[in-house]
């Protein structure tokens, strides 16, 4: 990760096809295309790769979450449960629909703690969003059972975990809906883009229409299409889809490279007793885009993080003080700093953030380091990196 590290002739060919026919929009202009429909091709490739019935491309992973939730009927005043460790886009996408993000603790998987989810369910809970952070997953069996028991939608945000699997199924294909991001730093990239996948035809049709101003996409005259309901513009362009079409063909190779580099680093660090690796649920396999491990304390994790930076071991993140990915620094959410007025319902729904403590999450995030696995490393570079990491950690613990 990320896929842009290995851009090559295949990406160039797909983009050149679009530029030569001149149609950059994914819909319409049938006569000008010379048979090129990159977005449609990529959607079909996603369906085949992830063994799902339907895939809908959109403009970003953030858009994918909003579109998926809207397709499932989530809106004003509804509660969506999500983890404290995620990306700010997660709660942004929920609030854009007028719904209320209910943040709960993570466990040692670095994803949703099922017990915390169970305790947070109310009569207003409409969906649970498990965010598969840093290439791995939560206990999807428990989460799925909870959702079924309470008639709640299970949404998988697999934006950082494309290619990971759980009991033989690809992440994103297990819940009622799954979301991917193809932004510039993902394992496969479109530059900007995202997708919703599902086996539910009704959710797919609603995602298809909603992401394009409510167009029903029936017939071949865009101007004559009906609008069964309100929609918005979350379309992907043909240029972005072309890049993704090339990249998804290379996904197995990318995963294999990541696994090789990940394994070298993990094997090296495994000799240190104080290093404890992130828990991956039984039956799960990461996509190997990050190596996550715990150290004994916040103090030690901080010193190791600083040691990595000072010695040129880049791409290792200590999220405890991170502005993007952990709740401690989300003052703009806690204080509702918005350009437009927030509804009273959402204000009241988020009041818990003023007093709520997440000690369980703090315990894990404080001690965790998350190290990016690059595709472009040579084997020698990986071994040198491993030696540096081991020496730095040993000098501190």
Active-site amino acid positions: 186
Angle between helices 379-396 and 251-269 (to 10 degrees): 30
Q: Answer for the pair 193, 59: CB distance below 8 angstroms, yes or no.
A: yes
Beta bridge partners, 285, equal 165
Residue 366 neighbours by CB under 8 Å, 6+ apart: 297, 298, 301, 320
Tokens representing 93?
A: 């996408």
* Cα 186 to Cα 255: distance, rounded to the nearest angstrom: 12
Q: Name the CA dihedral angle for 164, 237, 99, 139, rounded to a multiple of 10 degrees.
A: 0
Best CA proximity match to 186, nearest among 104, 255, 235, 265? 255
* Cα 93 to Cα 79: distance, rounded to the nearest angstrom: 13
Tokens representing 305?
A: 């993080």
* Cα 38 to Cα 239: distance, rounded to the nearest angstrom: 8
Which single residue is written with the structure tokens 């494309």? 162
Residue 219 neighbours by CB under 8 Å, 6+ apart: 225
Tokens representing 236?
A: 């992907």
One-character DSSP codes across 104-135? E-B-TTSSB-HHHHHHH--TTEEEEEEE-GGG
**CA-CA-CA-CA torsion sign (178, 286, 317, 244):** negative
* Cα 171 to Cα 306: distance, rounded to the nearest angstrom: 33
Over its C-alpha atoms, the chain yields an Rg (Å, rounded) of 21
Q: Answer for the pair 193, 58: CB distance below 8 angstroms, yes or no.
A: yes
């Amino acid at each position: 990760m990320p896929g842009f590290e290995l851009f090559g002739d295949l990406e160039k060919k797909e983009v050149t096809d679009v530029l030569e026919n001149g149609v950059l929009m994914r819909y319409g202009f049938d006569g000008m295309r010379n048979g090129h429909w990159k977005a449609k091709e990529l959607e079909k490739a996603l369906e085949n790769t992830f063994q799902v019935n339907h895939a809908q491309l959109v403009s970003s992973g953030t858009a994918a979450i909003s579109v998926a939730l809207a397709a499932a009927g989530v809106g004003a005043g509804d509660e969506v449960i999500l983890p404290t460790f995620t990306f700010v886009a997660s709660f942004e996408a929920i609030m854009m629909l007028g719904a209320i993000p209910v943040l709960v603790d993570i466990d040692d998987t670095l994803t949703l703690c099922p017990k915390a989810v169970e305790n947070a369910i109310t009569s207003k809970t409409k969906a649970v969003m498990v965010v598969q952070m840093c290439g791995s997953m939560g206990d999807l069996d428990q989460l799925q059972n909870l959702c079924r028991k309470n008639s709640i939608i299970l949404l998988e945000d697999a934006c950082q975990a494309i290619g990971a699997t759980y009991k033989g199924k690809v992440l994103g294909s297990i819940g009622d809906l799954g979301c991917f991001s193809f932004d510039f730093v993902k394992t496969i990239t479109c530059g900007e883009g995202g997708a919703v996948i599902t086996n539910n035809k009704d959710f797919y049709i609603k995602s298809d229409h909603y992401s394009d101003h409510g167009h029903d996409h029936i017939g071949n005259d865009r101007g004559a299409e009906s609008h069964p309901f309100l929609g918005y513009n979350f379309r992907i362009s043909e240029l972005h889809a072309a890049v993704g079409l090339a990249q998804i063909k290379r996904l197995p190779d990318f995963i294999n490279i990541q696994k090789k580099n990940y394994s070298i680093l993990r094997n090296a660090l495994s000799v240190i007793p104080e290093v404890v690796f992130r828990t991956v649920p039984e039956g799960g396999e990461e996509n190997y885009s990050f190596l996550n491990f715990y150290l004994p304390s916040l103090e030690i994790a901080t010193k190791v993080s600083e040691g990595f930076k000072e010695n040129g071991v880049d791409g290792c993140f200590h999220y405890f003080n991170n502005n993007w990915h952990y709740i401690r620094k989300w003052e703009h959410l806690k204080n509702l700093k918005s350009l437009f007025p927030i509804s009273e319902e959402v204000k009241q729904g988020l009041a818990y953030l003023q007093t709520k403590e997440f000690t369980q999450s703090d315990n894990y995030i404080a001690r965790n380091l998350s190290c990016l696995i690059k595709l472009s490393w040579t084997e020698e570079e990986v071994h040198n990196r491993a030696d540096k990491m081991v020496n730095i950690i040993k000098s501190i613990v």
